[in-house]
Each structure stands twice: as structure tokens, then as C-alpha cells.
Chains A and B, each alone.
Chain A
């Protein structure tokens, strides 16, 4: 059973199809890179996987469960465009909150561990409002990985990260894959993504134009995919 199974999914906004008959899978331990231009449907697809949006047609199964079910959401970590942490709470309070929402044992201890891991332990009691951009990003990453999710959904994660945060993220992704998590990552930054990816799917205007394993060719020449499949409808 695949960790992430997307089967014949359509998503309409009004009568406009943003996603057209998309099918793809990601198994445990795999890292699927979702490529495509702006408006191709990457964010929409990720949001559906995260349970934020409902597919108009077709099925989404995360570990065999419906994406919106509680069991699926318990095992999914989502890192979207916004950092998803509260400005008026401290770093520790934020992590404890999410630990409780994800029904983890010992939220306090867990929060402490992650604060250390992300290098935020000295600022644990400070409000996020006072954080620098890099610190916020690291906290966001901590929030997404806190509950050791089996599925990670990342929407253009490298876009806003500074070097320290990128290192942190790459390390966490590596560790996640080693314990068998599936990662679905949408991106513009071809280089970083292709290095981490094991599979690649290219979305063009809501359709899957190409889906397959990441090849050495792609790694050597990131633009290859777009040139070969970019204009297909």
C-alpha cells in the first residue's frame, strides 16, 4: 500500500478545472518532487493532500485512509507558504500547542527537544514576534516535523529559507526518509529538489505531463524536463 495514492483527481474552482485527472503515488521512503510553473496546480494538489481542500472528483488515500480523516492527519506534516506559528506565543508555547493537538505524550519534553534540535532553545521563552526570519522558519520546520509524520507535504520549502534553515530541513528530510516517511515536495528550486528527489512529476496546466523516477539526466540538467514536456497539454 502506497503511503500517498492520488487517483484520478479533479479539482474545480467554479467550473474551471485547476487539476485535471491527476494520478500519482509516493511510497514510504520515497521523495516525490512536484514540478510545474506557477498556476500548474502544485499548491492546490498539496492542499488537497493536507486535507485543507476537498477534491471535486477522484480519490486521495494517505496510508489507505481518506485525506481528511483524523488518522491520516495525525500522520501528516504540512509546511505551506505561511510559517503556521503564532506571533503572540513563545516558541515553546507554539510547539507545546501543536504537540497537544497531535495528541503526543509529554508535550513539554518534546517541545524542549525540538527547540534544541533547531537551535532555538535559548529563545524558547521569547515570543515569535521578536524572532528573526531565519528563526521563524526553523520553528516552522520544527512544527511540521514534531510528530514524526509518516507523510510530509512541503510547498516550495526552499523558497524562503536561509542557509541554516535549509541545512536543518535537509537533515530532517534525510532522517524522515530513513525511518520510512514519504515526502511530497513542490518546488521551483530545481537543483535542491532534484538532489533530494527519488521520483519526479511534472504538472502542466493541471495535468501530469511526466511522472517517473528521477534520472541522472535530470540531475545534470534541471531544465531538461521542462524542455521536453513543458508544453504538452
Chain B
């Protein structure tokens, strides 16, 4: 299982690199906290209606803060021409992509988990109620975000304006995933069970995860070899 082993080597390298500097991590976390703060002015956090917005609020925070992490996936390889050396090495494009996606995923989910208690405190939301359902939704939707973000980071790595292009390109395509995540999260935070008609959102997330991951694994090699 060379693919898995090599992906893990790449993932470990990315994580070690990031944990040493913590640049993206800090930026992402700060940004998330700032957004949560700003939203508290946009909506009245003490009203009952907050329950209706809670899912949306949380995922907008995650989506924006997450972009800061995902943006760096491939652009961190540009210094010293490391990307060239990686592509020239016997690692397949798919393994390189997957390794980076895994590292991004770990960082993104870490940021999200740290945000949850803050969110709970600022907005008086009891997020521990259906904890495992919440985790499931976070893990699924974050994976879709990660796959898209990492893929598009590869797509835009050589552009001057990559910092601007990445969000503009992925957000519209993430809308189905974000919609599903918001719907489910609002339900879960309100204490309602996820059942019946609402399961369709879960199926949508799973479907998106499978489709986009397959597309990315198949196409990333083409993007990396110029």
C-alpha cells in the first residue's frame, strides 16, 4: 500500500511544518473568533431566533476560517521550488494530494472543534446535546471542504492572485455541501433527531464526499505536471 504510506509521509511533513510555525493555524483561529464576534453584532445573540441561524452561522465561520488553511496547501511548496522536487519524486500526484488533504483535514477539524465551545458560550447554544451527530456532520462536510480546497489550491498554485482566486472559485461549488451542513447542524443544535426527510442531507454530504474525492484523485496529476 505504497499510496497510503506515501500519503502519510506527506501528511506528516505538512503537519510538522505547520505545527512548527502555526501561521495558518493562528490566522484561521483568530479569524473564526472575529467572525463569531462580528456576527454577535449582526444578530442579537440572546434572542430565541438564534436557534434558526445557529447552523448557518457556524458553517459560515468554518468556511471562511477554513479557507485560510486550505489556501496554503500547495502554495507552501513554492518556496525553494519544493513543489518541483515533490512532483519529480516517485510520489504520485494522487498520493501527494491525499497526504496534503489529510493534513489540512486534521488542522481544519482542530480549528472547528476549538470553535465549538466558544460558539456555545457566545451564543448560548448547547452543542453537546447530540454530540456524535454533530461530529458526523462536521467530519463529513469538512472533508468535502478540504478536498475542494486542496484541489483548487493545486489548480491555482502558480497564479499571482491565488489568495483571491481560491475563495472565489470554491465557495459557489461548496454551496450544496454548506447547505446540507447548515440544515443538519441547525436541526442537531435544536435537539431534534436527524431522521426521515432530513436524512437526505446526510446522503447528499456523503455523495459529495465520494464524488469530489474521486474527481480530485483522478485529475490532480494532470494539474501538477506542466
A and B touch in the complex (CB under 8 A): yes
**Using a CB–CB distance below 8 Å, which chain A residues touch chain B?**
47, 50-54, 68, 70, 73-74, 76, 78, 80-89, 93, 97-98, 100-103, 127, 143
Please, which residues of chain B bring their CB within 8 A of the CB of A100?
6, 9
Please, which residues of chain B bring their CB within 8 A of the CB of A85?
80, 82
Docked pose: A78 CA to B226 CA in angstroms:
16
Query: Is A83 a contact of B17 with CB atoms below 8 Å?
Result: no
Which residues of chain B from 205 to 225 have a CB within 8 Å of any chain A CB? 225
Does B92 belong to the interface (CB within 8 Å)?
A: yes
Docked pose: A51 CA to B90 CA in angstroms:
10
Q: Which of B80, B81, B88 has the most CB of A within 10 A?
A: B88
Docked pose: A97 CA to B15 CA in angstroms:
13
Does B13 belong to the interface (CB within 8 Å)?
A: yes
CB closest residue in chain A, given B221:
A68
Count: A-B pairs, CB below 8 Å: 78
Q: Say how far A94's CB is from chain B's closest CB, in angstroms.
A: 9
Q: Say how far A117's CB is from chain B's closest CB, in angstroms.
A: 20
Please, which residues of chain A bring their CB within 8 A of the CB of B87?
51-52
Question: Main SS of chain B's interface residues?
Answer: helix
Query: Is B82 a contact of A103 with CB atoms below 8 Å?
Result: no
Query: Is A50 a contact of B88 with CB atoms below 8 Å?
Result: yes
Please, which residues of chain B bring their CB within 8 A of the CB of A127?
20
Please, which residues of chain A bring their CB within 8 A of the CB of B90?
70, 73-74, 101-103
16 more contacts with CB within 8 A, not counting A80-B81, A83-B80, are A47-B84, A51-B225, A53-B226, A54-B225, A81-B81, A82-B85, A84-B80, A84-B81, A84-B85, A88-B17, A89-B16, A93-B16, A100-B6, A101-B6, A101-B9, A103-B2
Please, which residues of chain A bring their CB within 8 A of the CB of B86?
101
**Using a CB–CB distance below 8 Å, which chain B residues touch chain A?**
2, 6, 9-10, 13, 16-17, 20-21, 79-82, 84-92, 225-226
Query: Is B84 a contact of A52 with CB atoms below 8 Å?
Result: yes
25 A-B contacts (beta carbon < 8 Å): A47-B84, A51-B87, A51-B88, A52-B84, A52-B87, A52-B226, A53-B226, A68-B225, A70-B90, A70-B92, A73-B88, A76-B88, A78-B88, A82-B85, A83-B80, A84-B81, A84-B84, A84-B85, A86-B80, A88-B20, A89-B20, A93-B16, A97-B9, A100-B9, A101-B10
Query: Is B9 a contact of A102 with CB atoms below 8 Å?
Result: no
Please, which residues of chain B bring their CB within 8 A of the CB of A102?
89-90
Known contacts: A51-B225, A70-B92, A88-B21. The answer to whether A97 contacts B13 by CB under 8 A is yes
Docked pose: A51 CA to B89 CA in angstroms:
9
Q: Say how far B53's CB is from chain A's closest CB, in angstroms.
A: 39
Q: Say how far B17's CB is from chain A's closest CB, in angstroms.
A: 5
Please, which residues of chain B bring their CB within 8 A of the CB of A143?
85
Query: Is B226 a contact of A82 with CB atoms below 8 Å?
Result: no
Please, which residues of chain A bring their CB within 8 A of the CB of B89?
73, 98, 101-102
Docked pose: A211 CA to B2 CA in angstroms:
40
Docked pose: A90 CA to B225 CA in angstroms:
28
Docked pose: A84 CA to B92 CA in angstroms:
18
Docked pose: A87 CA to B23 CA in angstroms:
14
Query: Is A82 a contact of B21 with CB atoms below 8 Å?
Result: no
Q: Say how far B14's CB is from chain A's closest CB, in angstroms.
A: 10
Q: Which of A73, A78, A87, A88 has the most CB of B within 10 A?
A: A88
CB closest residue in chain A, given B96:
A101
Q: Say how far A10's CB is from chain B's closest CB, in angstroms.
A: 15
Q: Say how far B23's CB is from chain A's closest CB, in angstroms.
A: 10
Docked pose: A51 CA to B224 CA in angstroms:
10
Q: Which 8 A-B pairs have the closest CB atoms?
A: A82-B81, A84-B85, A73-B90, A50-B88, A74-B90, A82-B80, A78-B88, A101-B89
